[in-house]
Amino acid sequence: RLSGLIVDIFADVAVIASSAAWVEKYRQQIQSLVSKVSDVKHIKWRSSTDILKEEGLDMSEQKEPAPSSYSGTVKVMENGIVYLVSMEGQKTGFYADQRESRHFISTLSKDQRVLDLCCYSGGFALSAAKGGATNVTGIDSSGSALDLANENILLNKLDAERISFLKEDATAFMKGAISRNELWDLVILDPPKLAPRKKVLQSASGMYRSLNALAMQVVKPGGLLMTCSCSGAMTQSGLFLKTIQGAASMAGRKVTVLRQAGAACDHPIDPSYPEGQYLSNYLLRVM
């Protein structure tokens, strides 16, 4: 029930993400309490400087408290897959909120050709490979994220002939694939947060629509698209499904919703704080 505070624990490292002024105010007390959690030996504190600036807190002007940061990488296991998590990576270093959906993808992937767009360190792609996909391609524009993804291939002793990662903009890659008439059985589209606040929701809706229209065009008829939005403004507006329908019209495709999901169950929602519901995840049949 504490808005602005996230604690993700990876092995013996607790990553504390701060996005509220009160969290920064009570930093030492929070670190002290988290350090008492069983098995936690290290703490990595991550401040969301842009959000805090909107609250009137300029972190560049703050006196740095006693160092508590852990750097480097740590190995974790999820659903039988080993992941290398970077303490300097996106969000808290790993998208733990998609855990259940990654497992679900593994159950759909046997003998399938899979494309993972905005793949970060390869979460969905690795799950698909473990699930028996014949070929998996992961696309991301971040070189450091793909370094982790390629290390994850080695850690899990996966066949590099069946899974590969490419550094490319997702939109450019999809346009190229469309021009080559290249299609996949299963496509995952999990872009970064495009609507960080309500005032950009309209422009973000256009970006989500365009991305999804392209993604639908690289799904073979009858294939599956798992599409996601981690923008709280989009999820809470109720517009994401309407945006998906608009994308289908743009792409000249028809879609059916097979599954609707959100964050994993360790991301509880307080009914008195509906703003905490931020992740949308739809599995679509694309015709």
The catalytic residues are 230
Cα(259)–Cα(182) distance, rounded to whole angstroms?
25
What are the structure tokens assigned to 285, written together?
């049949």
Please report, in angstroms and rounded to a whole number, the separation of the first and last CA atoms in the chain: 42
- Strands 255-261 and 280-286, sheet pairing: antiparallel
65: closest CA among 13, 20, 27?
27
Q: For the stretch 135-145, what's the b/e string if a residue is b when 16 or more beta carbons lie within 10 angstroms of its beta carbon?
A: bbbbbbbbeeb
231 close to 198: Cβ distance less than 8 angstroms:
no
Cα(16)–Cα(121) distance, rounded to whole angstroms?
20
**What SS3 class is residue 168?**
coil
100 close to 107: Cβ distance less than 8 angstroms:
no
189: closest CA among 205, 161, 165, 213?
213
